[in-house]
Structure 1
């Protein structure tokens, strides 16, 4: 055999070995490349978040900006001056349409925010710059998923000098007295100073009245149904009183149209023996991030409650010897303890919280009045209702790290037997009046541990105007005339209570 014939098999073996080596090398290189790509992509996948909605709730008390996402958002913020602005960096995000839409959601009447700028600051870092109208004290916190919400990052922008409900009430009273004296008529508007010209809720009412139905262009912001028309002007004119102020209410319970007037002695202020105005704190339930119950036709409880409250405020302020304070006058969230605080700050004589019932059974119907209970709820339904209403803080979103919130919750342990007794009396007068315009769910005032009723020194009730979860009653709640009659009934019940339980003098500036 020739040498060439001997070499050929060896070359074949060498080529096969080389091919095997090259194949293994390619596999190793492929695996290494895959590992490298995975190493680069994995962190991006781990921190990638999607924005589900951006919402803005402007109000005099504070402006809230909420960013809802499918994962918790990491952020860093800094407050700058000259000019005032808040810079926020959101980590793990790429700029998308939801964040771009934030720019258009800042309205000219926002008391805190002038404008906002949003951009991709770095890869996976979105920067938001809020140009402010003045100094603010921001609170930034996160909320875990609850109800229909996923993760929420919340920016609460409080004005450096917060509005004082007492000073607002005093200014309102001074304007009322001045115009009564100068013009022989009360003022057309008695709202507090520097109030935005058009609240978010009022804008909802106007938009629906004009468009005749809901719009799908802004899914992040809930809106009331088309037939929920705006309330009339908040403070209609009334004749100037020609005699000392008296409360007018029905005295003839027979319903035969007899004498429908009686009076009570308006209390003195304790300072110079002057007559003081009786103050009623009106609390529209829910608001802002907390819509309350939602009817099958899309009616939001928070809008119903606010509209009835505005109607009631107008009727109370039209009385020569009374005045009203609202815990919220626009569509924003107020924690339960802050509602109590505001009522106590103005030295309210009475407190009424307005809601619209919802229950698991859509056949449930009727109006109700609740007072506080020290010894458990008066029924299983009352307990269920109180638990639902007390969950408002979780839905609306409170900063649990706030020292103020922790301290103020001590109010909820200060309820007294005397307050509950007076609340039951007060509630009975209101219950009888609303029973004339709607079926009652129960013929007595129910009791449960409603947190919002725990002002220790103010008779307090919660009125459920109707069951929003009942389709027929939802239609009634969407009737402007029904809401007006409900406000009338509450006012009449209040005046009947004052007549039967004359308010005492108070040695205070209000």
Structure 2
């Protein structure tokens, strides 16, 4: 009896102990949840405006739960961020809005309720917002991203047609003149055939020296792709140079040079400091029906003594070298750093591009790549004397010859200084242009896109 009573008291003590432990664990769990919910710290706020979209980023040490609503008359986006108290970093967001932002006129920030901060984006026009969270990557912690897209996206092809209308008209007139010259020559040949006569000694060399007039049926469209941008700085040199700034400068120089060519027109996949996902860069080039895609980079390697410019083309059979594979993996990770909304990524399109990449595209890419590499090698050191190949996501347009130019290694202190030199940037741009012209002189464009 005493044993049973003792066992009963022991069981009671165990039950009380378990209850106490359970209460303690529940309290601890609740305390942890409260601490997570109310202890978030804002580490930085950034705004990246562009014609494509405006991106606002809140970086924090923990994920931030939010709710959103779109209001009209006037147009505005209201976002409530839970687990925050208003602080100076958040208030800085107000001053970061630029007057030339296409979609945001101002941002208002306030403490809506205890633990809830309200952000009100006053809009210049209706938008389609995409809100998503990015996990920590590279130097970033958690990021809450607000991508504000216009309800009617800009049409890059129409903008390109408008900007090149005068050049298109001049080219059409030139083609008409060539036609007239050809008709006149044909008429003369027919007349000569009716009344054959031996040409004079003076006429023979004149006939040989007369060059056939060049005729381009349409403008050649060159898509220029400055790598990285916005949240993705690309490689950073020891002097603090950011790849995204260097390559945009080189790309704009190349754009200006192409503008001066009577039969070519340039298109930039980005013209400012903002992020463009890799598959969107390819889609933009296809949308403007580009004849060539040139992606410009200034990458880094794990060894600071690595040096020299390189040109890459797509490979379906694996990388041509360990360096090429390393480069491709690094460049393909840009979407993770720059911040891509996985939920809205068109995976079907991405897979289609991969499946449709053909041997013909790669063959053409190697040809233009060799032309460009030869021109760069005329004044700058090369990392490899031939075009390398790897599975770069940005080179997977199935119907556009595509190359990636590594202008130099920004991780090499000497080459970093060179990349920041206006003269070097200009020579690199000039070399790329000469390589492009050499390629098209041997591979004139077909008439399949004459309607654009």
Q: Into which bin does the TM-score normalised by the smaller protein fall?
A: 0.7 to 0.9
For residue 238 of structure 2, the aligned residue among 296, 307, 312 is 296
Residue of structure 1 aligned with 2:338, choices 386, 396, 415 = 396
1:465-476 equivalent positions in 2, closer than 5 A: 465-476=407-418
- Separation (CA, whole Å) in 2 of partners of 1:494 and 1:142: 41
Of 104, 113, 123, 2:114 maps to 123
Q: Per-residue deviation at 1:465?
A: 0.3
Distance 1:45 1:144, change over 3 A: same
| Runs of 4+ off more than 3 Å | 37-44, 175-178, 240-244, 262-267, 403-409
- Deviation string, structure 1 residues 118-164 (Cα, Å, up to 9, x no partner): 00000010000000000101100011111111101000000111011
Partners of 2:73 and 2:335 in 1: CA distance:
35
1:82 to 73, 76, 92: 73
Q: Once the 2 structures are TM-superposed, how far is the Cα of residue 410 of structure 1 from its aligned partner?
A: 2.7
State the partner residue of 2:146: 155
Distance 1:311 1:118 in 2: 40
Change in CA separation of 1:264 and 1:451 when aligned onto 2, cut-off 3 Å: farther
Is the contact between residue 234 and residue 299 of structure 2 (CA under 8 Å) also seen in structure 1?
Answer: no
Distance 1:39 1:457 in 2: 56
Q: Which 10-residue stretch deviates more, 376-385 or 401-410?
A: 401-410
3-state SS of paired residue (1:378) = coil
> Could you say what the CA RMSD is over the residues aligned between the two structures, in angstroms?
2.5
Counterpart among 36, 52, 65 of residue 46 in structure 1: 36
Residue in 2 that maps onto 1:363:
305
The separation in 1 between residues aligned to 2:450 and 2:53, in whole angstroms, is 28
Return 5+ residue gaps in structure 1 as ranges.
1-33, 182-239, 245-261, 269-275
> CA offset at residue 356 of structure 1?
0.3
- Is the contact between residue 373 and residue 387 of structure 2 (CA under 8 Å) also seen in structure 1? yes
Deviations 1:177-202 (A, max 9, x none): 57x79xxxxxxxxxxxxxxxxxxxxx
SS at match of 1:126: strand
Write the distance in 1 (CA, Å) between the matches of 2:29 and 2:399: 64
Number of matched residues? 395
Quickly say closer, same or farther: Cα 1:153–1:266, change in 2 above 3 A.
Answer: farther
Structure 1 residues 470 and 81: CA distance shift in structure 2, 3 A: same
Unpaired runs of at least 5, structure 2: 1-23, 179-210
Higher helix proportion (structure 1 or 2)? 2
What corresponds to 2:396 in structure 1?
Answer: 454
1:99 to 90, 105, 112: 90
Moved more, 464-473 or 43-52: 43-52
Shift of 1:505: 1.3
Corresponding residue to 1:336 among 278, 286, 292: 278
Aligned to 1:134: 125
Deviation at 1:242, TM superposition (A): 13
